[in-house]
Structure 1
Amino acid sequence: MCGIAGIYYLCNDAPSQEGTRFALERMNQAQAHRGPDDEGIWQSPNSRVGFGHRRLSIIDLSSAGHQPMSNEDGSIWITYNGEIYNYQLLREELLGLGHIFRSQSDTEVIIHAYEEWGIDAFRRFRGMFAFGLWDGHCHKLYLVKDRFGIKPLYYYQDQDKIAFASEVRALSKSGLFQPHKNHDALIVFLLFGSVPIPMTTVKGVLGIPAGHFLLVENGHISMHCYYDLWTDGIGEEKTISADEMRHLLQETVAQHLISDAPIGLFLSGGIDSSALVALGATAKKSRLTTLSIIFDEAEYSEQKYQQLIAGRYHTDHRELTVTSELFQEEMPKVFQAMDQPSIDGVNTYFVSLMAKKAGLKAVLAGTGGDEVFCGYPHFKRACLLSKISKLGFCLRSLNGLTCCLPGKWQKLAFLGLDRSLGLYLMLRGLFSPAEVAQLTDATIKEVQRLATSMQPLNGDGHSHQMGTYHPVDMLSRWEIHGYLQNQLLKDTDCMSMAHSLETRVPFLDPLLISTVLAIRPKERINPKVPKVLLTQALSQFLPQTLVYRPKMTFTFPIGEWLKQKASFWQATSQTNTPAARQVWQDFAAGIVSWTRPWALIIAEMSNLS
């Protein structure tokens, strides 16, 4: 895991080499926490192209893994962040084709893979990655992001140049442009609880979507999709036995444990993280290190199940008790760690802090398990929810009237949007369009327009329709495309990297996901068995008391803590409108969830308000 940056001047009148280097140094410095082990800068002879890199050494800890890295003749350069888990297999194949390697790093595998297969190489990579690659032979710049958006990659462009980095704040501090607040970001944040890709909080700075690469050639910039979650594999149907699923899971976790630096696992006590510990214990010869968060508030603590799994697999188990006092003390650092605002991520901050103190440089996390294996309760109601979404046509004419509905019923307003988007937001949306309009200076129509602009489009430029997919397939893809890409994965990256820690997510392995999504929905859902594909495959590895216990999300007692010190937290939030003050009043009265006042705090601390 690293921090990457780069500049490409589109015209021949590039600034001096010193000017380009200064901008790269500024971006490197802004991302120093992402790579404390090494730093590098490369510039082309004419200064039109430059790459920066901050390295967190995980694979090949020697100086041979230094970046930016080139091929033998210096015609291809790369600055890369991530891990390619099948790099050893690709390396062997490339060696057989005559390629010569100077290091043991996966970075060099990407270079030679591109030399051999061109852009077709991108689909061969099993892993998480974001990289900039300069092809000096063809004068092309590629900015490439992995299939599911695990690794971040942002860019800024104007008529003279394009610049890119792992974090928005690095671009803002580059000195290459004057950053201005994007006021639309507040609206979509209040709708979604995060700022969906490609939008960011800075005008002119965009995120590259999952499964895409940006190409700069002859001064022209174009976006290309090399993997489409919504269409790849559609129409395929697979049947897989429990043994075959277990074998695939074992292979995936074994690949994710490959590391030349100390590695551990986050153990929340749920099915996903417990499954990773069980699989990791069979794959790793040495004793596993597991990390857990516990609370004094018993209803939020999963210590019983954490210790059950840690004891069963004899791990070196570490615990951190997070109290209201520690939470308040660390929150300035949490806000500082957020590159983009989100109502999530606090849990990852604290467990990453713990991992760093334990001397780890990489960890495995169960992120993605609920989205892939249909772990959320609404998956079991998918068909019913699909029918409810048809009510949308009745609600489109009501607009602001739905805000008169009590509590959770206000979410019905989302059904007035495009059917699939409306269904997703009814499940995941934060404030309704009418409420967002009241909290901002936007009209309801402006809010609805922005919401609609955030949905994924097919190759014809139209939204994906409900009838194209089984309701379970539609929900799973929305969860992966939306909640996972735009919230969970962004939070996981920025919060762990704030502690110079790499987080790996085995459940987002491309082969695993393509296999699961090709299995018929009725085989992925069992009303009586949670995450049936996963738990049946690991039936002999996971205690039944853990599998069948009530589902708990890995969340903090934030609601309890906000109420305990309401005056302190309210003073840090956006309260300059009657609508914002009403949110706090409704929260105090138990009418709305803690996520709503928490969103106002995040908006204020992120300078969105």
Structure 2
Amino acid sequence: MCGIAAILAGTTAPAPVDHGELLCMREHMRSRGPDGAGAWLSDDGRVGLAHRRLAILDLSEAGAQPMASACGRLHIVFNGEIYNHRALRSELEQQGSHFRSHSDTEVILELYRRHGPAMLDRLRGMFAIVLWDEDRQGMLLARDHFGIKPLYVADDGITLRAASQVKALLAGGGVATDADPAGHAGFFLWGHVPEPHTLYAAIRPLAAGSWMWAGVDGRRDHGRFFDLGAEMAAARPATDDGQTLRDALAESVRLHLESDVPVGVFLSSGLDSTTLAALTTEAAAIPPQTVTLGFKEFIGTARDEVPLAEQVARAYGTRHQTCWITAADFTQARRQLLADMDQPSVDGVNTWLVARAARQTGLKVALSGLGGDELFAGYNNFTTVPALRRRVAACSAPPAFGRLVRRMTAPWIGRLTSPKAAGLLEYGGSWGGAYLLRRALFMPWELDRVMDADMARAGLRRLAPLEALESAVANLPGDRLKLSALETSFYMRSQLLRDADWAGMAHSLEIRTPLVDVGLFRAVLPLIVGANPPGKLAMAAAARPPLPESILNRPKTGFFVPVAQWLGESGLRSWATTIHADHCKSAAHHD
């Protein structure tokens, strides 16, 4: 895990790579890699790669980056972990390859040397890759299947810049800070900035499961090695023989324990993290460290995770620590938290706090249950969104009538119930509209109240949220797959995974997600489209010995942090305006 930065100055660029800019980008990401730093410039000055290292695999200098191939023609910076690197290394050695380190980075170099970009789908892990190919005079950029690791690109066709964080690109000083209306409108719409946007028109995330080729001659090519919707649409049903699901889960956890430093577990009282704790204890050589957050505001309520999490820790013999968080802690940490937040998000506080607690125990790596709800239909959206769509669609109200009702009720309905209620008839009859009603922070007609009206309109035109949502489910059969695609492609990718990256890296902690794994996904997908699709209880049944009944029978509450209470507000909308204002202030600083 680390922070990476790269600059490619094409042949028509007025100047070679600015070494100072490259180092500014790198040093802005110091917390992502406190264990070492490196940089490389090509002989002609047209290519620069930089790296901050968090040493987890091959702690020696042999694993340092930027790394060159033995022939010296390939150079790479890489952020992430390749969990099947041992199997790939063994295969390559049988084919005659020789290695100078035990790192997964060198395996990527050798795979590319033999197979080019076709090697990307063979990588099982989380990754953002920038690789310079001297012979082809071009740069390969790639991002893992689900977008666990970020890679942001600013490319004017002449000079390309890339980095692990938006703020790192800004810190270099070479990227324009003109606003992207879709990024700003998207933040208020969702509570996070939806891909493929950022707050800045010049900066875009590389799409998950895709690669980009940038030549010094200005040529740009793009390709995909993984398409979530296509894989779902092509899935063929299978039946679990009672062992398939458990084996797939156990394998993913075992692979995610690949590390030369201890690996801990974020432990709540939910099925995802408790199952991971059980499987980790089964697979690990020594009992893992587990970490739970507790909040005084929740003691004695259903939202108090501590008693059940501590019960699970005792049951599986983990080395457990509960960290209690107060309003005063939040107030004290608030300024640093906002500074660490790479893109605005209303939902990253919990991850930032638990990552801090884990790092304070001495951990550099922790497993998170993120992704279990998306894969195993844990959210109530899996039932409420289809039900809402069916009910509203049955009304057969013409679109104009829905719009009229919304315009008439929007000014006052918020005093009685959720402001979203005004749009039930207008939005609720389609998959995209019903999902937007459930997940949106502000609805489209509310945006001009919290941001510039012209920017809101321009942003909504570019976002086209209903069209984007409908496109994600257009070719998918069944409610389960449709909701899984929506939650995975929108909420998980643009909010949960992004939050896990910046919030973990703020504390030099690598957060791994065994339930967001391409091998697990491909093993479970045939079961999901089969006659008895596995839910959360089927996932939890993988635990050995079984989870306590108090966990299995507990209603889902979600991992909740009382940010609104700490702010003296009734919800997260005011927190969103605070976050947005802070990021706009930061942007003005970089102008």
| TM-score computed with the length of structure 2 as normaliser | 0.91
Q: Secondary structure at the match of 2:273?
A: helix
**Residue 439 of structure 1, CA deviation:** 2.0
Give the aligned partner of residue 583 of structure 1. Answer: none
Kindly report which structure 2 residues correspond to 1:313-332, keeping only aligned pairs within 5 A, or say none: 313-332=316-335
In the alignment, is residue 425 of structure 1 matched against residue 432 of structure 2? Answer: no
Deviates more, 1:148-157 or 1:134-143: 134-143
CA drift of 1:12 comes to 4.6
Is the counterpart of residue 607 in structure 1 residue 578 in structure 2?
A: no
* Alpha-carbon shift at residue 203 of structure 1 (Å): 2.4
- 1: CA distance, partners of 2:57 / 2:101: 10
SS in 2 for 1:100: coil
Query: Displacement of 1:415 after TM fit?
Result: 7.2
SS at match of 1:607: helix
Greater displacement, 318-327 / 133-142: 133-142
Letter in 1 for 2:390: K
Q: What amino acid is the match of 1:295? A: F
Deviation at 1:183, TM superposition (A): 4.0
Which residue identity lines up with residue 265 of structure 2 in the other structure?
A: L
CA apart distance, 1:393 = 5.6
Q: Which amino acid aligns with 2:243?
A: D
Instruction: List aligned pairs for 1:12-411, cutoff 5 A.
Output: 12-13=12-13, 15-16=15-16, 20-217=18-215, 218-235=217-234, 236-297=236-297, 298=299, 299=301, 300-381=303-384, 383-388=386-391, 390=393, 394=399, 397-398=403-404, 400-401=407-408, 403-404=410-411, 405-406=413-414, 407-408=417-418, 410=420
- How far apart are the structure 2 equivalents of 1:255 and 1:283? 10
Q: Hey, what's the Cα distance between the residues in 2 that align with 1:490 and 1:263?
A: 21
Change (3 A) 1:231 1:109: same
Hey, what's the Cα distance between the residues in 1 that align with 2:111 and 2:62?
18
Cα pair 1:133 1:143 within 8 Å, conserved? yes
Secondary structure of residue in 2 paired with 1:231? helix
Using the alignment, how far apart are the partners of 1:501 and 1:601 within structure 2?
26
Given the superposition, is the C-alpha separation of residues 455 and 82 from structure 1 closer, same or farther in structure 2, using an over 3 Å criterion? farther
Write the distance in 2 (CA, Å) between the matches of 1:43 and 1:132: 14
Quote the RMSD (CA, aligned, Å): 2.3
SS of 2:5's partner is strand
1:486 aligns with 2:494: yes
Aligned residue for 1:112, secondary structure, equals: helix
Which deviates more from structure 2 when the two are superposed, residues 482-491 or residues 515-524? Answer: 515-524
Displacement of 1:153 in angstroms is: 0.5
1:260, distance to aligned residue in structure 2 (A): 0.5
Distance 1:250 1:289 in 2: 18
- Contact 2:385/2:438, CA 8 A, preserved across alignment: no
Aligned counterparts of 2:392 and 2:95: Cα–Cα separation in 1: 53
Moved more, 492-501 or 414-423: 414-423
Instruction: Indicate the SS of the match to 2:317.
Output: coil
Distance 1:145 1:378 in 2: 28
Question: Which of 556, 559, 567 lines up with 1:562 in the alignment?
Answer: 567
For residue 175 of structure 1, report the CA deviation from its aligned partner.
2.3
Q: Distance in 2 between matches of 1:94 and 1:277?
A: 33
SS in 1 for 2:471: coil
Q: Distance in 2 between matches of 1:85 and 1:415?
A: 47
Contact map agreement 1:389 1:422 (CA 8 A) in 2: no
Aligned in 2, Cα 1:133/1:419: closer, same or farther, shift over 3 Å? Answer: farther
**Aligned mates of 1:522, 1:14 — CA distance in 2:** 58
- Give the direction of change, closer, same or farther, for the CA distance of 1:414–1:241 in structure 2 (3 Å limit): farther
Task: State the 1:251 CA deviation.
Answer: 1.1
8 A contact 2:6–2:161 mirrored in 1: yes
Is the contact made by 2:82 and 2:124 (CA closer than 8 Å) also made in structure 1?
yes
Deviates more, 1:106-115 or 1:438-447: 438-447
CA distance in 1, matches of 2:344, 2:43: 39
One of 452, 458, 462 as aligned partner of 2:464: 452
Q: Alpha-carbon deviations, 1:355-376, whole Å to 9, x = none?
A: 1111111110101111111101
CA distance in 1, matches of 2:343, 2:304: 28
Q: Distance in 2 between matches of 1:500 and 1:59?
A: 15
Hey, what's the Cα distance between the residues in 2 that align with 1:152 and 1:392? Answer: 42
Q: Secondary structure at the match of 1:371?
A: helix
Deviation at 1:540, TM superposition (A): 4.3
Counterpart amino acid of 2:440?
G
| Structure 1 residue aligned with 2:453 | 442
Q: Is the 8 A contact 1:238 1:515 kept in 2?
A: no
Shift of 1:440: 2.2
Identity %: 35
How far does residue 143 in structure 1 lie from its aligned partner after superposition?
1.0
Q: Which moved more, 1:120-129 or 1:403-412?
A: 403-412
Instruction: Report the residue type matching 1:4 in the other structure.
Output: I
8 Å CA contact retained: 1:234, 1:518: no
Give the Å deviation of 1:412: 6.0
Please say if residues 420 and 466 of structure 1, whose CA atoms lie closer than 8 Å, have aligned partners that are also in contact. Answer: no
Please tell me the residue identity of whatever aligns with 1:433.
Answer: P
Of the structure 1 ranges 156-165 and 516-525, higher mean CA displacement relative to structure 2 is found in 516-525
Deviation per CA, 1:213-269: give whole Å up to 9, x if none: 111133122332211101124232222233221111111101101110122110012
**Residue 562 of structure 1, CA deviation:** 2.2
Change (3 A) 1:433 1:233: closer
Q: Is the 8 A contact 2:181 2:458 kept in 1?
A: no
Is the contact made by 1:415 and 1:426 (CA closer than 8 Å) also made in structure 2? no
1:373-401 deviation digits (Å, cap 9, x = unpaired)? 11011213454244246468636643644
Relative contact order, CA 8 A, sep 6+: which one is greater?
2
Q: Match for 2:513 among 501, 505, 514?
A: 505
1:3 aligns with 2:15: no
Q: How far apart, in 2, do the equivalents of 1:74 and 1:521 lie? A: 47
Unaligned runs of 5+ in 1: 567-586, 588-593
* SS of 2:418 mapped into structure 1: helix
What secondary structure is seen at the aligned counterpart in 2 of 1:90? Answer: helix
Residue 484 of structure 2 aligns to which amino acid in structure 1? Answer: S
1:598 is matched with which residue? Answer: 575
Are the aligned partners of 1:21 and 1:41 in contact in 2 as well (CA < 8 Å)? no
Q: Structure 2: how far apart are the matches of 1:35 and 1:291?
A: 22
Residue of structure 2 equivalent to 1:581: none
- Asked if structure 2 preserves the Cα contact closer than 8 Å seen for 1:412 and 1:426, the reply is no
Letter in 2 for 1:226: F
1:134-173 alpha-carbon deviations (Å, 9 max, x no partner): 1111122111000111001001011420100000011111
Q: Number of residue pairs matched?
A: 572
Q: 1:142 to 1:389 in 2, by over 3 A?
A: farther
Aligned to 1:541: 546
Task: Provide closer, same or farther for how the CA distance between residues 520 and 59 of structure 1 changes in structure 2, counting only shifts above 3 A.
Answer: closer
Tell me, yes or no, if the aligned pair for 1:402 and 1:410 is still in contact at 8 Å. no
SS of the residue corresponding to residue 173 of structure 2 reads coil
TM-score by length of 1: 0.89
Distance in 2 between residues matched to 1:182 and 1:233, nearest whole Å = 32
**Could you list the runs of 5+ residues in structure 2 that have no partner in the other structure?**
none
Residue aligned with 1:508, SS: coil
Q: Which SS does the other structure have where 2:527 is aligned?
A: coil
Q: Aligned equivalents of 2:554 and 2:8: distance in 1? A: 54
1:127 to 1:467, Cα distance in 2 relative to 1, 3 A = closer
Whether the 8 Å CA contact 2:233–2:476 is kept in 1: the answer is: no
Alignment partner of 1:109: what SS?
helix
Does the 8 Å contact 1:275/1:542 carry over to 2?
yes
Q: Is the 8 A contact 1:365 1:504 kept in 2?
A: yes
TM-superposed deviation, 1:453: 5.7
